[in-house]
């Protein structure tokens, strides 16, 4: 029996028999079946090849982790302007599409599912990474505190060029083009990166958006660009193949909002108007570990499937799903160190410890050499 039909049959039987829903229960994203609710979070690893093209080691990395209910790829630039870090993959050139095609084939050959995360870093870039060495862009001309990672080492962030009204349609068009390319590359869907201080998040939060036009001021205005991107990508992909990631109180990349609960409750309600695959929420601040937002309340503002992220383990993940606080749970560091995380969770096996020194850049060490259980 084909994997999709077998998972759908299992999903129906689970519903009929009223078995307790947990991380190991199958789930449907529209008509797409996931074998479990253990999701591989998007993880920047800085290991793309020349031209920001996925290479052999990337193929192996994702192949190893195909046991996840769904893999969400590392952030991938929608355009050359969207680049913010060295050696991060893109999805805007033909070579990049061909590179990703090898990844999706490898994951599908193992029975897995994979979405690509579409990324524009906005002001979290540097002129040395931009075409023509122009300034990076943002909603407002506000310089981020901190430094950019460049091929010449760490350099201070620069004051970005504030995008004009005439330039915003080009940004939306770049997202649409990247979404079309993702289809060509064989992905099962796309996730819009609207979190962690990058471009769309910069528009959403009032700490970085000081515009006085129709894209600034009220939260209705500040979410306008995200809404336009969502509508365009659903037009490309159809219902339940587009997810959105947000991070209501994450301070990474020098970003903040004065009223995160109200802001992101409103965003969740707005996004409920669309047939999204899911809303992916990084809960709390990954820099400090603090949580002040009521994420159950936020989850209740969204009419679709809710994916929780940040600091979950097996016990907390199962509890979140069983109590209907989340429909799926995304894991980051645990998937870095445990390519067979879903299988280890299912049998409650010991986990490999992640080596943080190898998270960003390098070769196979700390990337494809973590052993599966029993292979150590």
Phi and psi at residue 87, to the nearest 5°: 60, 40
Residue 143 contacts residue 207 (beta carbons within 8 Å): no
pTM to 2 decimals?
0.95
How far, in Å, are 36, 98, 133, 236, 318 from residue 112 at the CA level? 11, 19, 39, 22, 21
| pLDDT tens digits, one per residue of 228-284 | 999 999 999 999 999 999 999 999 999 999 999 999 999 999 999 999 999 999 999
Residue 207 contacts residue 258 (beta carbons within 8 Å): yes
pLDDT given for residue 20 in this prediction: 85
Token pair listed for 369? 């050499």
Q: Does residue 150 register a pLDDT over 90?
A: yes
pLDDT given for residue 42 in this prediction: 98
Which of 243, 357, 375 shows the shortest CA–CA distance to 307? 243
pLDDT given for residue 4 in this prediction: 45
**Residue 2 burial (CB count, 10 A):** 8
Residue 296 to residue 298: CA distance in whole angstroms: 5
Token pair listed for 204? 């959403």
User: Taken in order 245, 248, 303, 171, is the CA torsion positive or negative?
Assistant: negative
Query: In CATH, which superfamily holds the domain spanning 3-358?
Result: Aldolase class I (3.20.20.70)
Query: Looking at 12-16, 21-25, 129-133, which range is the least confident one?
Result: 12-16
Residue 297 to residue 243: CA distance in whole angstroms: 20
Quote the Cα angle for 231-236-242, to 5°: 65
Catalytic annotation, residues:
198
Q: Does residue 8 register a pLDDT over 70?
A: no
Residue 267 to residue 299: CA distance in whole angstroms: 11
| pLDDT tens digits, one per residue of 278-331 | 999 999 999 898 999 999 999 999 999 999 999 999 999 999 999 999 999 999
Averaged pLDDT for residues 110-138: 98
């Amino acid at each position: 029996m084909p994997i999709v039909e077998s998972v759908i049959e299992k999903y129906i039987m689970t519903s009929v028999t009223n078995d307790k829903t947990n991380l190991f229960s199958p789930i449907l994203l529209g008509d797409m079946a996931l074998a479990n609710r253990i999701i591989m979070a998007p993880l920047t690893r800085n290991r793309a090849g020349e031209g920001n093209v996925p290479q052999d080691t990337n193929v192996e990395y994702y192949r190893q982790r195909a046991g996840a209910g769904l893999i969400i790829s590392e952030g991938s630039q929608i355009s050359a302007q969207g680049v913010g870090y060295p050696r991060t993959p893109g999805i805007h050139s033909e070579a990049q599409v061909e590179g990703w095609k090898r990844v999706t084939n490898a994951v599908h050959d193992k029975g897995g599912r994979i979405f690509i995360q579409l990324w524009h870093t906005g002001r979290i870039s540097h002129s040395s990474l931009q075409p023509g060495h122009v300034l990076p862009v943002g909603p407002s001309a506000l310089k981020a505190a901190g430094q950019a990672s460049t091929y010449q080492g760490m350099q201070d962030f620069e004051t970005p060029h504030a995008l004009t009204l005439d330039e915003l349609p080009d940004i939306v068009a770049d997202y649409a083009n990247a979404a079309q390319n993702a289809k060509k590359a064989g992905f099962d869907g796309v996730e819009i990166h609207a979190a962690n201080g990058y471009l769309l998040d910069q528009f959403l939060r009032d700490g970085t958006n000081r515009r006085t036009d129709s894209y600034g001021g009220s939260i209705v205005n500040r979410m306008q660009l995200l809404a336009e991107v969502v509508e365009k990508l659903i037009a490309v992909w159809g219902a339940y193949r587009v997810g959105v990631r947000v991070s209501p109180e994450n301070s990474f990349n020098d970003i903040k909002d004065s009223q995160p609960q109200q802001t992101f409750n409103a965003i969740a309600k707005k996004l409920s108007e669309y047939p999204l695959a899911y809303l992916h929420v990084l809960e709390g601040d990954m820099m400090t570990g603090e949580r002040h937002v009521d994420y159950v309340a936020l989850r209740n503002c969204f009419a679709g499937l809710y994916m929780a992220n940040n600091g979950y383990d097996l016990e907390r993940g199962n509890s979140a799903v069983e109590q209907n606080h989340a429909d799926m749970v995304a894991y980051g560091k645990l998937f870095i160190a445990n390519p067979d995380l879903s299988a280890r969770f299912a049998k409650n096996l010991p986990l490999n410890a992640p080596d943080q020194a190898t998270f960003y850049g390098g070769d196979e060490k700390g990337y494809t050499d973590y052993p599966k259980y029993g292979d150590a």
